[in-house]
Amino acid sequence: MTDAMVEIRQLKKIYHQGDVEVQALRGVDLTVAKGEFVAIAGHSGSGKSTLFNILGGLTPPTAGTVHLNGQDLLALTEGERTELRKRTVGFIFQKYNLLPTLSAQENIDIAKYIAGNKSAPDANFQEVLQLLGLSDRLNHKPRAMSGGEQQRVAIARALVNHPALLLADEPTGNLDTENSNLVLDLLRDLNHRLHQTIIMITHNPEAAAFADRIVHMRDGRIVS
Amino acid sequence: MVNHLVIENLKHRPVRTGLSILAIAFSVTLVLTIVGLSDGMLEDNRERARGAGADVIFRSPTASFGTGGGAAPLNEKLIPYLETQPHVTIAAGVLMHSLQFPNSLHGIDLDRSSRMAGGIRFLSGGPFRQETDIIVDEFYAREKKLRVGSKIPLLNKEWIVCGIVESGKLGRMFVQLPVLQDLTSNPGRITQIYLKVDRPENIPAVVAGLKKNQPDYGVNTMEEVLSAFSADKVPALTIFLKVIVGISVAIGFIFVFLSMYTAVLERTREIGILKALGASPAFIVNILLRESLLLAVLGAITGILFSFGTRYLFLVTIPASMQQKITPLWWPKALLIALLGALLGTLYPGLKAAKQDAIEALSYD
Ligand SMILES: Nc1ncnc2c1ncn2[C@@H]1O[C@H](COP(=O)(O)OP(=O)(O)O)[C@@H](O)[C@H]1O
Ligand SMILES: [Mg+2]
């Protein structure tokens, strides 16, 4: 194996909407090295989220090859994709997507619980919490937190099981400039200090600039 | 952790949670009240029959058990004959006339019936003095707000309460035997005869002797008669109970179904989040199941508590007509009914949640 975290060759994804076929991905080639922070930019409808969903094991690819951390995603069953979501990938969404009935700490804990991760909070994760600056807000429920705080909790949740790959879909789409910069700084810190591999989707060039490398998508293909 | 999520979810929607618990409680209360009433009323009948103090009952073979109709198949000349039988100390004839369910009017020989019952205690007033006198028991008096001197219209006649007696002796309303015989056109006739035997060990001999000498009549010990007053000996009642249990399961089912169904619709995003975190369909169904089973348990407990409330209501309003017993033996069954309803109600919403597409839930508002 190389030290590629992600290896994508001629990836295709076709959605069937009734009788209509929607070609969301038309042959994507992409390699992301371990420890790399890559931004995927492109207009709305260019297929970014579809790529995100495939890499996260939320939907199966139609054709091509996708290797994630050495695993062939095309061959996975539904159950294996569930397993992939437990430990191999961590998600950050535009809309935070915290469970509203649980506190920040519990939102992080339930991700651990679902993954069957019984280890005590480790030094590595303590460092994450430090970086996130959340220590005094952990007992609050999401609705008592600002968008920036919620997104930082979501990052902590995404990282608690030490995923090989952190996937972020428009993580700053709902945040003001100050909070956006805070979150983006955090992602860069995580990448630099902990060598966390990150793929971030964004249509905002300023956000993309935080990454090591920017990949552009158009009409289901990588254009540069 | 999962239990915590379940409890937080239920707390998050207090009105829905409360309503579901109340609905389940309602169906549980319904079952317990019906069971309690059938047990309570049968037991009350049994207690009053026992309170009559008789050891043997002498009836027409065609008579049915319990508080007979208006039939008066026996000739009262049998009373002195029976009283001369060996070991028989008292024979008391009674004419029973059914009124509006579940009441009946007893025509009695107060002296004999009283001696047989070991004395009937008057709470106020006293024995019959005139033909229009009626004696009622304390429950009937309480239910109908009667006191000595009150007038009751019955059988096209106005009666005057002359005495109120303690409950639990034979019946609730008594008039003099000849008066009732006249009124119901049954002169000289009675419904059944109660016999008191000198010593308990002689009861079998008395029954055996009477069966031999009077083969045309029904002769039973009081114990035999009492054992007939139980719910499982009354087929109509057991069918009725099954219907009520079925209705209760259905109510529990419908409410848990609605509650879980709306919960699933409302929590599309949360279910999507859990899936993104790697939760399997079984995990999601497990959470919903725990939620509804918790609702069922809370509902069952509330329902059991409510059944004490309905019992109290019957006791203060219509103690003579309806007596509800508290039936702890039925509590586990009530819980099962609630659990069954909840389980059925979670099936479809659970499957729907398990099949839900995570991506759709997560990417759109
Ligand atoms: N679940 C779906 N069913 C059908 N078509 C879809 C679905 N998801 C996305 N698409 C279509 O696929 C294309 C790419 O969408 P998407 O990956 O969401 O792009 P982006 O995230 O870059 O906006 C669009 O034309 C979109 O309409
Ligand atoms: Mg998108």
**Nearest Cα residue in chain B from A84:** B278
All residues of chain A having their beta carbon less than 8 Å from the beta carbon of residue B8 are 101-102, 106
Residue B1 is nearest to which of A83, A87, A113, comparing CB atoms?
A113
Residue B138 lies in a domain: yes
What residues in chain B have their Cβ under 8 A from chain A's Cβ atoms? 1-2, 4-5, 8-9, 11-12, 269-270, 272-280, 283, 358-359, 362-363, 365
A54's tokens: 């495939």
- Whether B316 and B183 share a structural domain: no
CA atoms within 13 A on the CB side of B139: 17
Residue A185 lies in a domain: yes
Q: Whose CA is nearest to atom 10 of ligand 1?
A: A24
Query: Do β-strands A71-72 and A63-68 pair in parallel, antiparallel, or remain unpaired?
Result: antiparallel
**Cα three-residue angle A86-A73-B354, rounded to 5 degrees:** 50
Buried b (16+ CB within 10 A) or exposed e, B347-359: bebbebbbebebb
Residue B121 lies in a domain: yes
B278 vs A91: CB contact, 8 Å cut-off?
no
Residue A77 lies in a domain: yes
Residue A28 lies in a domain: no
Residue A5 lies in a domain: no
Say how many C-beta atoms besides its own lie within 10 A of residue B172's C-beta: 26
Q: Could you give the CA distance from residue A213 to residue A199 in angstroms, rounded to a whole number? A: 10
Residue A53 is nearest to which of B9, B359, B365, comparing CB atoms?
B359
Residue A172 lies in a domain: yes
Atom of ligand 1 nearest to the CA of A203: 22
Across residues A190-216, what is the average pLDDT? 94
Query: Do β-strands B74-75 and B189-190 pair in parallel, antiparallel, or remain unpaired?
Result: antiparallel
Q: What is the pLDDT of residue B162?
A: 95
| Structural domains in chain B (count) | 2
Q: Whose CA is nearest to atom 11 of ligand 1?
A: A24
Q: What is the pLDDT of residue B364?
A: 59
Residue B53 lies in a domain: no
pTM of the model: 0.76
Atom of ligand 1 nearest to the CA of A201: 21
| Structural domains in chain A (count) | 1
For every residue of A12-55, DSSP letters joined together read EEEEEETTEEEEEEEEEEEEEETT-EEEEEE-TTSSHHHHHHHH
Q: Could you give the CA distance from residue A93 to residue B275 in angstroms, rounded to a whole number? A: 14
pLDDT, tens digit, 9 for 90 and up, residues A159-169:
999 999 999 99
Distance from CA of A94 to the nearest CA of B (A): 8
All residues of chain B having their beta carbon less than 8 Å from the beta carbon of residue A49 are 363
Domain that residue B15 falls in: 2-44+234-362
Of residues A62 and B50, the one with the higher pLDDT is A62
A110 vs B275: CB contact, 8 Å cut-off?
no
The CATH number of the domain where A104 resides is what?
A: 3.40.50.300
- Whether B34 and B140 share a structural domain: no
Query: Do β-strands A197-201 and A165-169 pair in parallel, antiparallel, or remain unpaired?
Result: parallel
Q: What is the pLDDT of residue B66?
A: 47
ipTM comes to: 0.92
Closest CA to B355 of B281, B267, B287, B259: B281
CB contact at 8 A, B197 and B206? yes
pLDDT, tens digit, 9 for 90 and up, residues B167-186:
888 889 999 999 999 999 99
All residues of chain B having their beta carbon less than 8 Å from the beta carbon of residue A170 are none
B58 in helix, strand or coil? strand
Q: Could you give the CA distance from residue B5 to residue B267 in angstroms, rounded to a whole number? A: 13
B93 in helix, strand or coil? strand
Residue B337 lies in a domain: yes
- Whether B66 and B212 share a structural domain: yes
Cα of A49 vs centre of ligand 2, distance in Å, is 4
Residue A91 lies in a domain: yes
Q: What is the pLDDT of residue B231?
A: 63
**Ligand (nearest to CA of A53):** 1
- Whether B186 and B65 share a structural domain: yes
User: Which range is least confidently modeled, A6-10, A29-33, A203-207, B317-321?
Assistant: B317-321
Q: Which of B163, B188, B216 is the last residue of a domain?
A: B216
Of residues A222 and B341, the one with the higher pLDDT is A222
pLDDT > 50? residue A185: yes
Cα of A45 vs centre of ligand 1, distance in Å, is 6
- Whether B7 and B152 share a structural domain: no
Residue from B10, B277, B355 to probe the interface with A (highest A Cβ count within 10 Å) = B277
Confidence of residue A69 (pLDDT cuts 50, 70, 90): very high
Ligand 1 neighbours (beta carbon < 6 A): A 15, 17, 22, 24, 42, 44-50
Maximum separation of any 2 CA atoms in chain B, in Å: 96
Burial of B19 (0-12, 13-18, 19+ CB in 10 A): middle
CB contact at 8 A, B120 and B127? no
What residues in chain A have their Cβ under 8 A from chain B's Cβ atoms? 49, 53, 56, 58-59, 79, 82-87, 91, 93, 95, 97-102, 106, 109-111, 113-115, 157, 169
B92 in helix, strand or coil? strand
Q: Could you give the CA distance from residue B287 to residue B298 in angstroms, rounded to a whole number? A: 17
Distance from CA of A209 to the nearest CA of B (A): 24
Distance from CA of B167 to the nearest CA of A (A): 57
Query: Do β-strands A165-169 and A89-92 pair in parallel, antiparallel, or remain unpaired?
Result: parallel
- Whether B69 and B27 share a structural domain: no
Q: Could you give the CA distance from residue A65 to residue A74 in angstroms, rounded to a whole number? A: 6
**Residues of chain B with confidence (pLDDT) below 50:** 66-69
Q: What is the pLDDT of residue A125?
A: 79
Domain that residue A163 falls in: 35-61+70-222
For every residue of A194-217, DSSP letters joined together read H--EEEEE-S-HHHHTTSSEEEEE
Residue B283 is nearest to which of A102, A114, A169, comparing CB atoms?
A114
Residues lying with their CB under 5 A of ligand 2, a single-atom ion: A 49
Residue B355 lies in a domain: yes
Q: Which residues contact A192 (CB under 8 A, 6 or more apart)?
A: none
Distance from CA of A32 to the nearest CA of B (A): 22
Q: Whose CA is nearest to atom 21 of ligand 1?
A: A49
- Whether B137 and B269 share a structural domain: no
- Whether B75 and B126 share a structural domain: yes
Helices B14-51, B2-12: crossing angle, 10 deg rounding: 90
Residue B269 lies in a domain: yes
Cα of A24 vs centre of ligand 2, distance in Å, is 11
Q: Whose CA is nearest to atom 3 of ligand 1?
A: A15
